[in-house]
Amino acid sequence: MLKPIHPVRKKLEVRSYYGLIHKGGTQWFHWENLTFPYSLLDLILKGLDISASGLKNALELRLARHTIFLPCLPDSFNDYKILLITDPHLDGNPGLGEQIHRLCSDISMDLIILGGDYHFRFTGNPNLAVTRLREMVGWLKHQAPVAAVLGNHDEYIFAQSLYTCGVEMLVNSHLKVTREGDSFYVVGVDDCHYYGTHDFDEAEAGIPGGACKILVCHSPELYKAASRRGYVLYLAGHTHGGQICLPGNIPLLKNARIPWKFASGTWRYRQLAGYTSSGAGCSGLQARFNCPPEIALLTLKQERRD
């Protein structure tokens, strides 16, 4: 069942300059919600005559494969496969839904997780992104069950639309995954970066103590809380891996209050394993450098402690 919209989220979805400076998220000024920095960057890329190569890089979607070892994973989930798709920003990345479908159509997976940021810009009509998202989900759900969280770009209309497509919406709620009498929990919290409407207590209500829990949040910024609360895996996106990086995958910006090592790929914090996807699409403008777009196939394996 889809929960009603959080009152803070409802207030912030009324677009205004209040949204740039509200203090509910992880930073007090949300420059990423302005449009002029992207227009300026676009002009710079055109001035340097590298717009075309930036666009070409942005279209080279790849399938990243990783194995993640978890100590509490029950026997029957050894080799369980999660396909993580984050940051498609579908209205600003034409053809990406079809590209994702082609890339994963002949691989097997047990669960698909959509990590948020379906809308290209923070402002503007979301209808095109909603339409493309529904098309993409229509293809994906033939391969495996689909669960999703919302990102900092996403209005609640995305949750309502995904829910009517049969997607399990993890907006401060959880999904119990069972197999052969074993189980683990996929817990999803609402966006912490801009909306600040994440609620662990609500999301975990009913989960027994000591259960094996995986957290999905659009941004990796909750890694300390996740570790404190006993999660073993944290799946996120949001950073785009920097999107525009120096050679050697060195990001210029991460737009998140995290150490650089949590900005992309696999990471670890105390007992918590993490994966931050570089994202499938682009936001702001369709260009990437030294940071290829990706969807990620994550194979879970039981960590043996002999």
Binding characters for Fe ion, 191-230, by CB under 5 A (x = yes): ----------------------------------------
98: region left, alpha or beta (phi > 0 left; psi from -120 to 50 alpha): alpha
**Pairing between strand 294-302 and 245-246?**
unpaired
Name the one range near Fe ion by CB under 5 A: 22-30, 61-69, 120-128, 282-290.
Answer: 282-290
Q: Does 283 bind Fe ion (CB under 5 A)?
A: yes
Nearest CB to Fe ion, comparing residues 70 and 235: 235
Closest approach, Cβ 15 to Fe ion, in A, equals 18
Closest approach, Cβ 151 to Fe ion, in A, equals 6
- The size of the chain, in residues, is 306
Nearest CB to Fe ion, comparing residues 197 and 227: 197
Contacts of 151 (CB under 8 A, 6+ apart): 86, 87, 115, 116, 117, 118, 191, 218, 219, 237, 238
Closest approach, Cβ 95 to Fe ion, in A, equals 18
Nearest CB to Fe ion, comparing residues 117 and 155: 117
Q: Name the closest residue to Fe ion (Cβ).
A: 117
Name the one range near Fe ion by CB under 5 A: 59-67, 75-83, 183-191, 279-287.
Answer: 279-287
Kindly state the number of chain residues that form the binding site for Fe ion, as judged by CB under 5 A: 3
Nearest CB to Fe ion, comparing residues 151 and 274: 151
Provide DSSP, 229-291: TT-SEEEE-SSGGGSBEETTTEES---SSS-GGGSSEEEEETTEEEEE---SS-SSSS--BS-
Name the one range near Fe ion by CB under 5 A: 5-13, 47-55, 246-254, 281-289.
Answer: 281-289
Closest approach, Cβ 204 to Fe ion, in A, equals 26
Nearest CB to Fe ion, comparing residues 86 and 227: 86
Q: Where are the beta strands (DSSP E) in the chain?
A: 62-70, 80-85, 111-114, 146-148, 168-169, 173-179, 182-188, 213-216, 233-236, 245-246, 250-251, 265-269, 272-276, 294-302
Alpha carbon of residue 303 to chain centroid:
25
Task: Give the residue, chosen from 5, 19, 74, 117, that forms a contact with Fe ion under the rule CB under 5 A.
Answer: 117
Residues of this chain, 68-97, that bind Fe ion according to CB under 5 A: 87
Name the one range near Fe ion by CB under 5 A: 10-18, 95-103, 109-117, 297-305.
Answer: 109-117
Name the one range near Fe ion by CB under 5 A: 35-43, 167-175, 266-274, 278-286.
Answer: 278-286
Q: What are the residues facing 19 on neighbouring strands?
A: none
Q: CA distances (Å), 276 to each of 29, 33, 110, 279, in order?
A: 23, 21, 20, 9
Contacts of 44 (CB under 8 A, 6+ apart): none
**Pairing between strand 146-148 and 111-114?**
parallel
The span from the CA of 47 to the CA of 196, in Å, is: 37
Nearest CB to Fe ion, comparing residues 117 and 168: 117
Nearest CB to Fe ion, comparing residues 90 and 232: 90
Closest approach, Cβ 234 to Fe ion, in A, equals 17
Contact residues: Fe ion, CB under 5 A: 87, 117, 283
